[in-house]
Structure formats: structure tokens, C-alpha cells
Structure 1
């Protein structure tokens, strides 16, 4: 079906706010044309204090980048799952400000819709944080996404934390020696420098996640300590995916850790051994946001807050 409407899809995370404009496109186009329209600073999350105000401040600057009329805005926002009232408030606030219909859902819901094309299955996210969302008919289960203090098991920040623990324990003879000592030392200094590095300004989960590739590379090269850390991380991620499963066995993967070829292969094998089929991801969170703007008949609809 052809359309002359232009849609705006927004992925609002805690560190970054991205937006694209989609369409208009012609009858012979299989997919709408997308182009980036905004890339700015994110917001702390809708569940945080003044979360709605922060989200509006993060999104509204994109108005200055729009050089054509738009028909609607669809947002996947961090924190919307835990704070549905705030998500509804954000939808109404954006609709007033943008003067177009707005839909708001959780960023994990929009990512699920994008990855699985609006269908059933599990989305397993392994990035700075970690979460698994399973949607199948009337059943929807979110596992983890609890943040670095309480969860995010198998995430990049989890791997970084485990690397520092391994280095500190090895430095006092409580654990085997590991090549992580030199790898971490080249990045942040020796074991004695770790406490000061942890206290440095800047988002700690992201800084910890930046250490994750050191662990994955060391495990790939055969370092026994790193191999054990990765095996546990894979086990935790697969457990989350299985716990989020309902009727469907399909699991799509998102997140920066899955770009590591060796780690992705290990994760794929473990999911297969758990009876899950790794599905090719159909799209990203912005694809999902745009899909949810167009479709109200998807199983994700119960999590979408709409305003005009």
C-alpha cells in the first residue's frame, strides 16, 4: 500500500535519543525510505523523578530538524514499562507540543516489535544492560532489565564488573591469575587503581560495559578465568530468554555484545541446546516504533499509550 505520509520514530534511551523520519514513499517501494533526523542526549527514564519533563526535553529539539510535515510521532522510551502513567503523560505532552498523534511505549517493547516484525517470540537484549521480553498472544513476560545493581545479568556492565572482580581477587591470591590483569591494566591501571576508577565521574554501567570486549577476547584466546566468566554470562542470558518464553521458541537478539562473533556463536549454541531457535532480527527499536504507529492490531498494543 502506498502512502504520502511522513512518520517520525524515536528511540529514547538513558544516554541517547535517536529519531528518524520515514516516508513518504511510492507504490513501487517495498519499504519506506528512512533517514536520520535527530541524534541527541537521552533521559534518565520515565520511572525516574521528573522523568516526563526530562523525556520531553530530550525529544522536542527534533522539531527544529523537521523540514516537512509529519503525520505522527512514535516513541520507544526507557522506563515506560515500569511507569505506564508517565508514558501516557509523555504521549499527551508530545501530542500537544507537536500537534500530531503520538504513541509511546517502552523501548524494549518497540525493540521487540522491530526485531520480530510485530510477531510472537522473545527478544533477548545483551548490551550495556540485559533483558528478555517474551510476547505470545495474551502472555507477555519481561525478565531482567532490573539495572546494574540488581540485575542486567550477562550484560556488558555485568562482564565488566566480573572482570574487575577477577583481577582484584587474583591480585591477593584468592583466584587464579588471568590475562585480564594486563588487559584491564592497559585500560585503567593496575588493581590498586580500580577503586578510584570506579569512583570516576560518568555513567558507571557504560564504563564497565566498555571492558566487556576484553573478557570476550580473552575467553576466545583460552584464558580459563575469562572462559568461566563468559560461560556464566551465557548461562544467565539463556535463562532469561527461557524464562520469558511462552508458546513460541523463537529468540531474536539485540545488543552490542551480540556483535562479537565468537560470543554470538556461543550464545547461539546455548540457546539451541535450550530448545530455542535463534531468529534473524527483522529490525531495530525505531523500526518497531514506526510499526506500532501504523498498526493497532499487534499483541504489543496493550503496552502502547496513544494521544492525539
Structure 2
């Protein structure tokens, strides 16, 4: 820098990861330090409205960072991302206006999970939470499998595991199914194990969340040796591994052994992780831990821009490019 040349401040970059359980934000400020914030997620039980885009929670999460000035770049990975790129651009434009940011990027959390795991390199990521989705990329193109919601898909998800566990409990009560410790767990979870409990579940505003929350009980029972729960977990592991293999079918058909990471709250269960790893390995995938999560993936997206494989899955709203040098200012 020559004498008298004005100092250019380093851009403030914010990454946001939004799911059912919460909205997390991280900012990298001029000093190089990281600042963290949070806001509620997209759970109906926690106050989110049905069909919400999550924009309010994103704004609240960024506000919780207490930045001295509006951020330059905000990158959002959210389970509520609209399907089309045009709709994602519209959401990005809304957030840009509300946050005062120079540039906002919006994509689905499966993309940021992949970027956190592979940073644009080839591989397949399985995300297993309330829902389930597999996303593969060879670095230039991508393919997704599942993520269709609990009615049409989400094989191996929290809803699938929790629903199978509740059905097993009621079947055991009827004498149709094998005895299982899930009966008592279901009784506690639903406040009973009879017609009133069944009616309350069907009439609830958020039955999907109630069912998905029971997955924790099923996973715990499997780890404690309950055979019925163990069979449910084994089926879920097979379903998730199958989704990963289907997403990576082009790579597998070429004789390759693509890298695979499984992420999400369900994968904290040793029983599910072990069964998934075994089945995915049998299908030709090389399973390993994800070096970073979705929040790190959102930060990678903010600082490098959309990789070629995911460019069509990212909605971008940007202003003048002069303020942001390099990839931060690329459209």
C-alpha cells in the first residue's frame, strides 16, 4: 500500500446453518476472530410457522452476533430453502435487504453439509435428521436421492425410525408384534398407549416432529439390546446406505469407490453409525468422518462462491462488486 492510500477494511463474512432444532450463525470479522450467535429453528413445537422460509430466524441469528456494521457477505444453508433457483434468489434478495449485506447466498443444508465434508471435492454425503437426503458430486455435477419428506420418502430418517418404533409399540400391545421395551418408551413419549394417545398424535399440529423425536428412544433401545429396535435401526442403516449408493451410482458404475460421510443428529448413535458404515462399505463406498459440518460449509460457500457442481442450487443476491475483492464479489 502506498502512502496516503486509504485502508480497505476486510469484509465481514457470516455463515448460517438452519434446521429444525435451531439456527446457528458464525461471523468472521476484520480481526480474524469468529463470533457465534443463534436463534430458534424451524420446529413447529418451538414456534416456527408452517411453511416458513426461516427468514426471520436468519435475521435474528445474524442480529445476535452484534456486529458493529452490516455484514458484507451472508451465506445460508437451510432445510427450508425453496426448490427453484429463482425462488432461492428471491429469498436471498429479501435477506440482503433486511440484513443490509452486500451479497447473500441461499442454498439447502444438504449442499452446505457436502461443502463442509468435502470442500468442493468429489464424494457423497448422507444427512439424517428429521428427514434424510443423500447428495453426491464428482466436483462438476451432482445428484441427489430422497429428501422427499415423510409421506413420499425420507428413508432411514428420524421420522422413519420413530414411526417404525411407535408402530412396533402399538403392534406389541395388540399382540401382533414381538414384545419390546418400546412399549413403555412410547407410553412416556405420547402420554399413554391407547386410543386417546393415538388420537392426540393424529390431531397434533406437528405430528412429524413428535414421531421423529421418538427416534432417540428407538436408537437407545437398540443400543441396549432390544431386538425389535435393533431391527428398525438395521433397516434404517440399509435405507441410508442405499440412498448414498444410488446418489453415487455413476461413480460406482465406473468402478470407483467414492468417499462417503454420514452427518446429522441421528448419526450420533453408535448403533446406527456402525450399521450404516458396514452396509455402505458393502455397497462400495469408503466411509469416513466429516471433517467439518454444515456451518463450516456455509462459510466455505461464502468465501469461495458456489462450486460448479452446486451453482444451480445456490440463489445469489448481490450489489456492487467493487466492495468485495476476489471470490467474495463474484456473482
Question: Which TM-score band (shorter chain)?
Answer: 0.7 to 0.9
Structure 1 residues 175, 56: CA separation in 2 closer, same or farther (over 3 Å shift)? closer
Q: Distance in 2 between matches of 1:206 and 1:197?
A: 13
Structure 1 residues 226, 193: CA separation in 2 closer, same or farther (over 3 Å shift)? farther
> Any idea what SS the aligned residue of 1:280 has?
coil
Quick check: 2:125–2:134 contact (8 Å CA) kept in 1? yes
Q: Distance in 2 between matches of 1:234 and 1:63?
A: 36
TM-aligned CA deviation for residue 202 of structure 1: 4.8
TM-aligned CA deviation for residue 223 of structure 1: 2.4
Quick check: 2:72–2:101 contact (8 Å CA) kept in 1? no
> Any idea what SS the aligned residue of 1:151 has?
coil
TM-aligned CA deviation for residue 35 of structure 1: 2.5
- Larger Rg, first or second structure (1 or 2): 2
Name the residue aligned to 1:143: 145
TM-aligned CA deviation for residue 94 of structure 1: 2.1
Name the residue aligned to 2:157: 155
Quick check: 2:281–2:287 contact (8 Å CA) kept in 1? yes
Matched, 1:275 2:268: no
TM-aligned CA deviation for residue 196 of structure 1: 3.0
Name the residue aligned to 2:36: 36
Matched, 1:251 2:260: yes
CA offset digits 1:188-239 (Å, max 9, x no partner): 2224444134136452222212211222222233322222212211111111
TM-aligned CA deviation for residue 111 of structure 1: 1.5
> Any idea what SS the aligned residue of 2:280 has?
helix
Matched, 1:222 2:228: no
TM-aligned CA deviation for residue 41 of structure 1: 4.1
Name the residue aligned to 1:74: 75
Name the residue aligned to 1:17: 23
Q: Distance in 1 between matches of 2:274 and 2:161?
A: 17
**Structure 1: which 5+ residue stretches go unaligned?**
27-32
Runs of 4+ in 1 over 4 A off after TM superposition: 48-51
Of 146-155 and 9-18, the range deviating more from structure 2: 9-18
TM-aligned CA deviation for residue 306 of structure 1: 1.7
Q: Distance in 2 between matches of 1:183 and 1:60?
A: 38
Quick check: 1:12–1:43 contact (8 Å CA) kept in 2? no
TM-aligned CA deviation for residue 50 of structure 1: 7.3
**Structure 2: which 5+ residue stretches go unaligned?**
1-8, 252-256, 319-331
| Equivalent runs, 1:96-115 vs 2, <5 Å | 96-97=97-98, 98-115=100-117
TM-aligned CA deviation for residue 56 of structure 1: 3.1
Quick check: 2:27–2:35 contact (8 Å CA) kept in 1? yes
Structure 1 residues 64, 139: CA separation in 2 closer, same or farther (over 3 Å shift)? closer
Name the residue aligned to 2:89: 88
Q: Distance in 2 between matches of 1:277 and 1:197?
A: 43
Matched, 1:183 2:185: yes
Name the residue aligned to 2:254: none
> Any idea what SS the aligned residue of 1:283 has?
coil
TM-aligned CA deviation for residue 37 of structure 1: 2.3
Of 270-279 and 215-224, the range deviating more from structure 2: 215-224
Q: TM-score, normalised by structure 2?
A: 0.80
| Equivalent runs, 1:283-298 vs 2, <5 Å | 283-296=292-305, 298=307
Superposed CA RMSD in Å reads 2.5
Q: Distance in 2 between matches of 1:191 and 1:50?
A: 31
Q: Distance in 2 between matches of 1:216 and 1:274?
A: 23
Q: Distance in 2 between matches of 1:256 and 1:192?
A: 31
Name the residue aligned to 1:29: none
Aligned length: 295
